[in-house]
Structure 1
């Protein structure tokens, strides 16, 4: 009998195996939208912090195994869903165009992260246990980029700032905001690794329970485990500090036309506090803190403004930290400053802090000649000069680290005040041109900074929300929004220097370097996958297979 030999069968990629394909585009698109929504409502004023890991998981699932271009656009879509509503308050003062430009710029970073997630997909497929690690590292790297670029960056909406009521907040004492972000994103990576098996089962293959339980334990440890982490304790010595929230006649841009009324409101609030102290109903403060722009009239050049501030300081018998706008010898140039105003002796020009990080397009105009070609309204923006040293102001009783408005979002500015000797730190802010949501987002940052550096903190706003934060992140004596209020509290001075303060930016540097290494490690795996796919069909971005 004659035997016929059959030619050997060439190896093929099994097109029917769904485990080698991305999720269908009709699934990935809603996942990207849901990711943006989850990340949005995790942040104040909603405060559903536990949705932040879920948002990361949805994001990672949407872009996993996609082509790079699709990963970018899905990531950018999630970014738009997050940032357009999150930053709506920027439109109140500047209109819709800057709001949209800022939102699209931030969404671009999310798009680049989506591309990076897609790029590292072969690495995750090869070693599924790396998914939490890669998710955490890539998210930290993305935030590091948008915290610094363009024009000094804009760190609003970081994962860490959604965790003001979460156990993960305690990790700030060990690695700052980057470590908190890493823990939240890594928890999301563990969740998506756990869920991916349910989404993409391989037919007729029994899955071992070990990896499933492992990812569940990793997610639980990252979300709840920080409760076991000790936090820094404040010092034993105390000083009594008062916040005066004077309020404004009207919210909005009219604030700038109400300068004298705003100053008078803060003077009146201080005088009422002085009457309470004289009557024995309130403690004598060692320091009174007024917010940013509480005297938008330069009191070093205007004798009327100087006179009423001096009267308030004399009545309260304590130095006042006044937030003011100082004119310079060059017309159009100004400084956003905090200055100590003492009883009897008046302003102490040696105890002055000038804001180091003015906001581009709002407090100064980058590329002014180029911008003027687009619109002549650029000349409405004055030129705010940047300060050149940390905000450390010393009274007879305490050393205050002064941070002005959005500067609280920048890691190094707050850290520098503590390293310069701040026993407590104060955030002077003006929310009159924004809304309560922006104020509560800012207060969440103050809470994180208090934990991060082991220093009690306060936020003083023209309209609210003002209040104190302990080294455990809890808020005390918070005011309402758009009301006049005075709050007095004994603040504990100094305390343990946290690991985060000592390490500075190095944890973030190490994580960004590790993210770059993960991207590089995915390159040979991508080349190997491309070679393998040349002999068989490949999954397209819609989840179907297509020949190559």
Structure 2
């Protein structure tokens, strides 16, 4: 067991190398296959140990940036919780190894646990999905066909098949190898026929990165200057448009926390937004913190029209637990860890329809929303023509988090087949094409305005149409596999002991 646990730990560390900053995605199936091998031959009651070791090796490394940016306590707590899910996966795969066609059952189990931890507890943590590593690989064109969950399933299946190749014997190994090659070929087939949506029009978008004063990693260090930086950059853009050196944008995109105080209560902030929108003469999608009573706050993208003022709004759907709100606050002291830094709970948004910005249907996401499927899929299936992301990565600006999130952002452009514009106060801001190509990007910690023409599309990719169904099917299959394994065990444990055969005493008497 010690050797299995050590190998599982090494496999988890290896999987972390598939993501930024190292970005070696080809190792994903090998790391997953190694985990499956360490649980083979174990009972469910002991399979959790190598599974947990894998989770520790992977997740504590994958989100190491949280230790540097948010704090040691948050890093330990979140990584520890996520590692427990891999412990559960270890027990589940140990049980499913006994089923016929076990590689298929194991791949389904991986996805089921991945989907579970992406939404629970509280709002879950999708970071570390297998599919989030593939944006720069030949597997990326499969995203519009099967979605990010479907790509995770393909990768998990490759890992399971590699494990089968290792344990198979003689002729069976040839079959395992042929099936593995066949699956890889099938997964790469979309690269020969990329899914492209027909453009229904174009728009010009201006992405404003105003920069963060001071140390650069604290959005609240001088939040009024952060807002002023975005106002000044937009006014300068208006002057460039007037001079003919820049095209007139259809709308302007500001990042999350471009106003860290309520623009409806703070007169200075309100006046700055009105100045910028009047200068540019088109709507600005402002990222604002809006009061919602004494105990709550809303993180919103607000369409600010130069004539009518504030209008359509998107509210962040997935606030970060213990970062933007405190679950079970009543049971915790406000001085524990960094809870004192979150005096008010951020409320979750429920909007499913896209914003209307300058006559364009826009699917907005705020920061970590980009890692979740629901908000994006809801808006795209309801007519969104363009994706925008308003994010505030100042807390992570000196860490690898910004590169991991930007990779996920690019994945969403590929998956939905849409252009995407992302604005951050000081990085990473950019404009991304539907094939994941970064057509414009701002250097971190600079004041930059990106003005780009983007395409619009209304059709929906098959991957988005599938929505949550791949995850649901994998979850049901996993439960069925576990149930089928439990039934024979229950029958064996409840069968009565066979009665002993009767003794022929007559024969003994005759012999005597």
TM-score with structure 2 setting the length: 0.90
Task: Provide the rounded CA distance (Å) in 1 between the counterparts of 2:73 and 2:222.
Answer: 26
Give the Å deviation of 1:397: 3.4
Task: Provide the rounded CA distance (Å) in 1 between the counterparts of 2:372 and 2:430.
Answer: 20
Where do residues 514-533 of structure 1 align in structure 2 (5 Å cutoff)? 514-523=477-486
Where do residues 62-461 of structure 1 align in structure 2 (5 Å cutoff)? 62-123=38-99, 127=100, 130-197=101-168, 206-207=170-171, 210-221=174-185, 224-251=188-215, 254-328=218-292, 330-348=293-311, 351-372=312-333, 375=336, 378-381=339-342, 382-390=344-352, 392-435=354-397, 436-461=399-424
1:495-543 deviation per Cα after TM superposition (whole angstroms, max 9, x unaligned) = 4211233232122211211122222233356679999xxxxxxxxxxxx
Give the Å deviation of 1:391: 5.8
Give ranges in structure 2 of 5+ residues lacking alignment.
495-512
**2:500 corresponds to which residue?**
none
Give the Å deviation of 1:187: 0.9
Give the Å deviation of 1:224: 3.0
Contact map agreement 2:97 2:106 (CA 8 A) in 1: no
Contact map agreement 1:151 1:360 (CA 8 A) in 2: yes
Task: Provide the rounded CA distance (Å) in 2 between the counterparts of 1:462 and 1:302.
Answer: 20
Task: Provide the rounded CA distance (Å) in 2 between the counterparts of 1:474 and 1:34.
Answer: 33
Distance 1:234 1:470, change over 3 A: farther
Task: Provide the rounded CA distance (Å) in 2 between the counterparts of 1:153 and 1:71.
Answer: 24
**2:506 corresponds to which residue?**
none
Task: Provide the rounded CA distance (Å) in 2 between the counterparts of 1:216 and 1:514.
Answer: 21
Classify the secondary structure of the residue corresponding to 2:441: coil
1:188-218 deviation per Cα after TM superposition (whole angstroms, max 9, x unaligned) = 1111211234xxx6xxxx5466314324413
1:25-70 deviation per Cα after TM superposition (whole angstroms, max 9, x unaligned) = 4542342123212221111222211111111111111111123243
Deviates more, 1:486-495 or 1:521-530: 521-530
Q: CA RMSD in A?
A: 2.4
Task: Provide the rounded CA distance (Å) in 2 between the counterparts of 1:471 and 1:152.
Answer: 28
Contact map agreement 1:340 1:352 (CA 8 A) in 2: yes
Classify the secondary structure of the residue corresponding to 1:299: coil
Is 2:437 the counterpart of 1:471? Answer: no
Classify the secondary structure of the residue corresponding to 1:337: strand
Give the Å deviation of 1:112: 0.5
**1:543 corresponds to which residue?**
none
Task: Provide the rounded CA distance (Å) in 2 between the counterparts of 1:363 and 1:373.
Answer: 14
Classify the secondary structure of the residue corresponding to 2:333: helix
Distance 1:336 1:452, change over 3 A: same
1:236-295 deviation per Cα after TM superposition (whole angstroms, max 9, x unaligned) = 410000111111013566321311111111112222222222222221110110100011
Is 2:469 the counterpart of 1:506? Answer: yes
Task: Provide the rounded CA distance (Å) in 1 between the counterparts of 2:218 and 2:465.
Answer: 43
Contact map agreement 1:186 1:222 (CA 8 A) in 2: no
Of 19, 25, 31, 1:49 maps to 25
Task: Provide the rounded CA distance (Å) in 2 between the counterparts of 1:441 and 1:367.
Answer: 29
Task: Provide the rounded CA distance (Å) in 2 between the counterparts of 1:462 and 1:374.
Answer: 29
Give ranges in structure 1 of 5+ residues lacking alignment.
1-24, 532-548
Contact map agreement 1:392 1:421 (CA 8 A) in 2: yes
Classify the secondary structure of the residue corresponding to 1:214: helix
Deviates more, 1:79-88 or 1:98-107: 79-88
**Corresponding pairs, count:** 492
Contact map agreement 1:141 1:512 (CA 8 A) in 2: yes
Contact map agreement 2:254 2:286 (CA 8 A) in 1: yes
Task: Provide the rounded CA distance (Å) in 1 between the counterparts of 2:408 and 2:263.
Answer: 30
Task: Provide the rounded CA distance (Å) in 1 between the counterparts of 2:338 and 2:24.
Answer: 39
Classify the secondary structure of the residue corresponding to 1:243: strand
Classify the secondary structure of the residue corresponding to 1:231: coil
Contact map agreement 1:255 1:432 (CA 8 A) in 2: yes
Contact map agreement 2:283 2:358 (CA 8 A) in 1: no
Contact map agreement 1:313 1:343 (CA 8 A) in 2: yes
Contact map agreement 2:393 2:424 (CA 8 A) in 1: yes
Distance 1:78 1:441, change over 3 A: same
Contact map agreement 1:403 1:428 (CA 8 A) in 2: yes
Contact map agreement 1:36 1:79 (CA 8 A) in 2: yes
Task: Provide the rounded CA distance (Å) in 2 between the counterparts of 1:276 and 1:414.
Answer: 33
Distance 1:105 1:376, change over 3 A: closer
Task: Provide the rounded CA distance (Å) in 2 between the counterparts of 1:151 and 1:450.
Answer: 27
